[in-house]
A and B are shown apart, each in its own frame.
Chain A
Amino acid sequence: MTHACLPLHWRRYPERYLLKGNYCENCKTAFFPARVVCPNCRRKALLKEKEMPRTGRIISFTEVFVGPMGFEHETPYFLALIELENKAKILSQIVDSKKESIREGAKVKKVFRKISDTDKEGAIAYGYKFKVVK
């Protein structure tokens, strides 16, 4: 219900399963998700597909007590803005981590999880979440 049609899930597999984004060789900037146009270089851009590093650090976080449709069963849950090792930023849930360990600067790594409940078309959405590592 939350996340639209099957082709949308399907298009996003490389991004959501493998953290595939892209990288502009002209301005040396990583983009996640992949962009069609490099906002820094525009027509001078040299965009190449690239997998993002699977570790990073928490920049900011929140514990969500009232979630949108499709997240009823996991509320409350943690969301964080994470800076990956190549400076690309990502917004993700933080799971399998002690509450006290979720803080600014904490090191996190990617895990593969179910994201939300089955929608009307029967597709269970999978993708990345992150967990705190020592």
Chain B
Amino acid sequence: MRSVSIIGAGCTKFGEHWDKSFRELIAEAGMKAIEDSGIEGKDIQAIYGGTMASGRLIGQEHIGALIADQLGLTPIPSTRVEAACASGGVALRTAFLAIKSGEYDMVAVGGIEKMTEVSTEEASFALGGAGDQETELFHGATFPALYALLARAHMQEFGTTEEQMALCAVQAHKNGMNNPNAQFHREIAVEDVMNSGYISSPLKLLDCSPITDGAAALILCESKKAKNISDKAIEIIASAQASDSLGLTERKSLTELAATRIAAKEAYKQAGIKPKDVDFAEVHDCFTNAFILAIEDLGFFRKGEGGKAVEKGRTQLNAEISVNPSGGLKMGHPVGATGIKQAAEAFEQLNGRAEKRQVEGAKTGLTHNVGGSGATAVVHIFRKLEGKK
């Protein structure tokens, strides 16, 4: 069976890039990834790019061709992948499958979003398209509102508190201090979150991920070939994806994201590991309650115990399991780029290049990317590829 590895990664800084356009950001991330991998542009056989709402945010579609064009990689096939905030993760999985199938040996995959060209209201409207336009957004449901409904359900069923959710943000900001690409470098306290004002109760401003510009890119290579050309290859030992109802009203449970649970189960099976074997994870914490849902649905903690686990510091850097050593989505969530940036973080961690945020003895890493309010979930598991060049 063919296996697939990552041999290079590149990210732009995440933040408000008033001075850079969409095309400049993706070209910057792409070139960094190619340089990092040590290959030449001509070695790349295909491109997959994840972006969610470029049409609404910058008025540009046809992103596949745009990426190939900007990177000087025409005429190779270049395809856009869209799955809301999971666009990056699904693009990664698509590139993985393209190599796995035997069609290609070397593929570039990118993710990007340019979100600050429009007003906050327009951006939230664009993001609202990840939910159900006709039954949610029509009635005034924003993304924070949908996650707020999930948060309240979790609080009611398990006694999860607003302070526990606030602690997720505190941890994210603490880890983000060590991430040079993070949108914020500022430590916060629980009171800061509690006093930050409701966006959609019980979620407050500092419970929410920000609006961000940014791009990330990876070079994927068939593993036998990767061994010969790279000493930093990390193998994708599992790639799984699941879907669920677009809107919240058809969900069987409001206290889990079933797509995450199902994709994770499949990923653990592929990798032949259990949740306790994971050393670090980059999870999709678009809101603080999403962090709690993720650590439960991924099997790191029992259902309902996520809030308490955070309170006890069990998810801190180098604690029981290091969750979001990069700071996660709180440190920037350019929606289409997030899934790729998570894998880039796994690449840094497993190569021991994560500097001050390095997870000690990191052997197995997991990334978890969610689209919408849980209608898509993608889980990848990585390990250092054995055998050097």
Q: List chain B residues, Cβ under 8 A from A72.
A: 121
CB-contacts of A1-31 with B (<8 A): 2-3, 8, 12
Q: Of B122, B198, B201, B249, which contacts A32 at CB under 8 A?
A: B249
Is there an interface contact between A91 and B124, defined as CB atoms closer than 8 Å? no
Question: Considering the chains assembled together, what is the distance between the CA atoms of A39 and B136 in angstroms?
Answer: 20
Min CB gap B371→A, angstroms: 18
CB-contacts of A55-108 with B (<8 A): 59-72, 74, 77, 79-81, 88-93, 104
Q: Of B120, B128, B145, B156, which contacts A79 at CB under 8 A?
A: B145
Min CB gap B133→A, angstroms: 8
Is there an interface contact between A68 and B254, defined as CB atoms closer than 8 Å? no
Q: Which of A64, A71, A104 has the most CB of B within 10 A?
A: A64
Contacts A62-B149, A66-B124, A67-B142 given; indicate if A91 touches B198 (C-beta within 8 A): no
Is there an interface contact between B139 and A81, defined as CB atoms closer than 8 Å? no
Question: Considering the chains assembled together, what is the distance between the CA atoms of A71 and B201 in angstroms?
Answer: 17
Is there an interface contact between B138 and A125, defined as CB atoms closer than 8 Å? yes
Is there an interface contact between A64 and B139, defined as CB atoms closer than 8 Å? no
Is there an interface contact between B138 and A62, defined as CB atoms closer than 8 Å? no
Is there an interface contact between A79 and B138, defined as CB atoms closer than 8 Å? no
Q: Which of A70, A80, A81, A93 has the most CB of B within 10 A?
A: A81
Question: Considering the chains assembled together, what is the distance between the CA atoms of A103 and B138 in angstroms?
Answer: 23
Question: Considering the chains assembled together, what is the distance between the CA atoms of A42 and B142 in angstroms?
Answer: 31
Min CB gap B40→A, angstroms: 46
CB-contacts of B133-154 with A (<8 A): 134-142, 144-145, 148-150, 152-153
- Number of residues from B at the complex interface, CB < 8 A: 35
Contacts A59-B153, A81-B254 given; indicate if A71 touches B140 (C-beta within 8 A): yes
Q: Of A12, A39, A64, which contacts B140 at CB under 8 A?
A: A64
Contacts A64-B200, A66-B144, A68-B125 given; indicate if A3 touches B139 (C-beta within 8 A): no
Q: List chain A residues, Cβ under 8 A from B198.
A: 63, 65
Is there an interface contact between A79 and B140, defined as CB atoms closer than 8 Å? yes
Q: Which of A72, A88, A92 has the most CB of B within 10 A?
A: A92
Is there an interface contact between A63 and B125, defined as CB atoms closer than 8 Å? no
Is there an interface contact between A90 and B249, defined as CB atoms closer than 8 Å? yes
Q: Which of A8, A62, A66 has the most CB of B within 10 A?
A: A62
Is there an interface contact between A69 and B122, defined as CB atoms closer than 8 Å? yes
Q: List chain B residues, Cβ under 8 A from A70.
A: 140
Q: Of B122, B142, B250, which contacts A66 at CB under 8 A?
A: B142
Question: Considering the chains assembled together, what is the distance between the CA atoms of A70 and B197 in angstroms?
Answer: 22
Is there an interface contact between B144 and A2, defined as CB atoms closer than 8 Å? no
The yes or no answer to B247 lying at the interface (CB within 8 A) is yes
Is there an interface contact between A2 and B138, defined as CB atoms closer than 8 Å? yes
Min CB gap B196→A, angstroms: 12
The yes or no answer to B257 lying at the interface (CB within 8 A) is no
Is there an interface contact between A63 and B141, defined as CB atoms closer than 8 Å? no
Contacts A61-B152, A62-B145 given; indicate if A91 touches B248 (C-beta within 8 A): yes
Min CB gap A24→B, angstroms: 13
What are 9 A-B pairs with beta-carbon distances under 8 A? A60-B149, A65-B200, A66-B142, A68-B124, A69-B122, A77-B140, A89-B249, A93-B139, A115-B139
> Which residues of A approach B to under 8 Å, CB–CB?
2-3, 8, 12, 32-33, 39, 59-72, 74, 77, 79-81, 88-93, 104, 115-116, 125, 127
